[in-house]
């Protein structure tokens, strides 16, 4: 049993069942045993792999996107380039290398990384120490200094805790984590329905609410409206309201059970882009997209970039470039699994009045 499981069992035995949001927050961020506090999650030896780890093209295009948005903002000096959940620092390193072709942008930058994981902070330090740029780390969005900013969040919002509600004959009941007869962690439902939840639904349907994600979005959107700038969100999720449980545990590249060994597996849920859009607009920000990741990368020129990289590549490198391209931007990757190009969505939130950021241009009629 993981040390966190022992602790959770004690907490539940003492205080009764906890919401899924509390469970997820502890499993991911408990100060001693949380997954994102104590583990090395990303990469072949970690539990999952992300777009910047698949190909340098992802970070490069994000860097050039940021430079273009900075120009549209009127080239503010300094510009805070902020990444939320920077993982191993790969995206930022690739972005800054690509940005060398825009030297005035590069010299305007101050880098801020929002990261709770000390192991990853050390990776980020190693990945970025040779850039010569000022870099500082922050534990939460609320700790970021003021100023005009471009913010990037790849696979950050999916690891913020969610609540789940299950429809029964008597209404919507919150899903809770409690203990079964053998004192093991188990899912159950709150005995009373949520009083003010009037949404229609069939018995058995599940509704997920990413309240933590919405709180972060509200905070960022208000900041962008006051101080200027843009936020780029890239994540897997849905762009129309939907029912269904998407909570998922992943350990060593395999799906695991969300209640097994808390603190040892990654827990994520699909991002509700409709809710994020609504929250950002309510704060007064402009919202562009979401567009599928494949569309966004294609519009930014990933195929042209891949062709350029292929020119100097060996046969095996060419095969790797083609495979990365299929995974990141393709509609099909040869397997039955959905590609990241289709499953992942890209959303931009900006201060009102900023021109449409690259990759979000509306389709011609």
Site residues, ligand SAH (CB under 6 A): 29, 36, 42, 50, 52-53, 85-87, 91, 114-117, 120, 140, 154-156, 159
Distance in Å, CB of 8 to ligand SAH, minimum: 18
Distance in Å, CB of 25 to ligand SAH, minimum: 8
CA distance 129 to 120: 14
Distance in Å, CB of 212 to ligand SAH, minimum: 8
Burial class, 162, CB count within 10 angstroms (exposed 0-12 / middle 13-18 / buried 19+): buried
Q: Which residues pair with 171 in a beta bridge?
A: 168
Sequence-ordered list of residues with C-beta below 8 angstroms from that of 214, at least 6 positions apart, any chain? 275, 276, 279
Distance in Å, CB of 118 to ligand SAH, minimum: 9
Distance in Å, CB of 87 to ligand SAH, minimum: 3
Distance in Å, CB of 36 to ligand SAH, minimum: 4
CA distance 331 to 270: 19
116 or 131: whose CB is closer to ligand SAH?
Answer: 116
Q: Which residues pair with 249 in a beta bridge?
A: 256, 267
Residue linked to tokens 């390193």 = 93
Closest by CA position to 75, among listed 106, 97, 101: 106
58 or 165: whose CB is closer to ligand SAH?
Answer: 58
114 or 286: whose CB is closer to ligand SAH?
Answer: 114
5 or 155: whose CB is closer to ligand SAH?
Answer: 155
Sequence-ordered list of residues with C-beta below 8 angstroms from that of 254, at least 6 positions apart, any chain? none
50 or 277: whose CB is closer to ligand SAH?
Answer: 50
Distance in Å, CB of 295 to ligand SAH, minimum: 19
CA distance 6 to 29: 16
Phi, psi of 162 (to 5 degrees): -120, 165
89 or 229: whose CB is closer to ligand SAH?
Answer: 89
90 or 228: whose CB is closer to ligand SAH?
Answer: 90
Q: In the bound complex, which residue of the shown chain has the CB atom lying closest to ligand SAH?
A: 85
Closest by CA position to 41, among listed 118, 120, 94: 120
C-beta of residue 123 within 8 angstroms of C-beta of residue 129: no
């Amino acid at each position: 049993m993981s040390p966190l499981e022992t602790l959770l069992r004690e907490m539940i035995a003492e205080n009764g069942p906890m919401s899924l949001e509390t469970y997820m927050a502890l499993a991911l961020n408990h100060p001693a045993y949380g997954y994102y506090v104590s583990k090395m999650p990303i990469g072949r030896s970690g539990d999952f792999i992300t777009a910047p780890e698949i190909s340098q093209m992802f970070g490069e295009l994000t860097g050039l996107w940021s430079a273009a948005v900075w120009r549209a903002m009127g080239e503010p000096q300094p510009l805070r380039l902020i990444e939320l959940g920077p993982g191993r620092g790969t995206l930022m390193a690739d972005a800054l290398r690509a940005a060398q072709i825009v030297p005035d942008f590069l010299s305007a930058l101050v880098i801020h990384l929002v990261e709770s994981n000390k192991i990853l902070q050390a990776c980020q330090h190693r990945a970025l120490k040779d850039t010569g740029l000022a870099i500082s780390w922050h534990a939460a969005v609320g700790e970021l200094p003021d100023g005009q900013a471009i913010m990037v969040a790849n696979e950050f919002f999916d690891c913020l805790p969610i609540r789940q509600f299950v429809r029964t004959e008597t209404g919507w009941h919150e899903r809770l984590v409690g203990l079964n007869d053998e004192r093991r962690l188990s899912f159950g439902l709150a005995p009373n329905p949520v009083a003010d939840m009037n949404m229609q639904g069939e018995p058995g349907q599940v509704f997920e609410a990413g309240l933590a994600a919405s709180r972060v979005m509200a905070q960022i959107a208000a900041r962008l409206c006051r101080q200027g700038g843009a936020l780029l969100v890239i994540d897997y999720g849905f762009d129309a309201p939907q029912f269904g449980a998407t909570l998922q545990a992943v350990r060593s590249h395999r799906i695991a059970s969300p209640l097994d060994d808390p603190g040892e597996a990654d827990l994520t849920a699909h991002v509700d882009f409709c809710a994020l859009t609504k929250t950002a607009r309510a704060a007064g920000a402009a919202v562009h997209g979401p567009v599928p990741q494949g569309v966004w990368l294609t519009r930014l020129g990933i195929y042209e970039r891949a062709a350029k990289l292929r020119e100097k590549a060996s046969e095996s490198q060419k095969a790797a470039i083609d495979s990365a391209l299929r995974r990141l931007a393709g509609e099909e990757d040869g397997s039955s699994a959905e590609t990241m190009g289709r499953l992942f969505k890209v959303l931009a939130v900006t201060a009102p009045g900023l021109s449409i950021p690259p990759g979000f241009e509306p389709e011609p009629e």
